[in-house]
Amino acid sequence: MAQRIDEAFLELINQNLRIAHKICRVYFDNPNDRDDAFQEMMYQLWRSYPKFSGRSKFSTWMYRVCLNTALTYQGKVNRNQNQRLETSHQIAEATDNVIEENLDAMYKAIGTLSPLNKAITLLYIDELSYEEIATITGITKGNVSVRIVRIKKELEEKISKILNI
């Protein structure tokens, strides 16, 4: 029985792994922090899985766990930042590929948003409904709608500045 649960968990995680990677990329600039946060997300998902009741989609539940873990871990990283030897942000080397450059600009712009707006943006990009976004973030459906309009405008401005358009 435990082996079936393990296999089911691993299958669901593998089907939705991009959620954790995407959240790590948006919330953490430093690759080491990304890796550590990812590991913490996997641990928290495993630890919380027995409590997953199936009342929502697995991906919705996974988003909630990963976002909460990212926010908690981000607080730890910020508190420990003064203790680091490495203080500069590691910026990915620019490529000739315009798509990659635009994607990097988008993630950089999303990374400057408030934690709640980052979460809303990631969920919106993954085409979750306003109702699902509201459930995951704990705000009303109407507030989700208003925030998305404002976030789009803010991101347009930030991406334009980043790309010098």
HSE toward the beta carbon, residue 158, CA cutoff 13 A: 17
Whole-number Å distance between alpha carbons of 141 and 124: 13
Amino acid 91: pLDDT = 37
Domains of the chain: 1-90 (1.10.1740.10), 95-165 (1.10.10.10)
Question: Model confidence over 18-47: pLDDT tens digits?
Answer: 999 999 988 888 899 999 999 999 999 999
Question: Model confidence over 64-73: pLDDT tens digits?
Answer: 999 999 988 8
Considering the entire predicted model, what is its pTM? 0.64
Tokens of 133: 């976004």
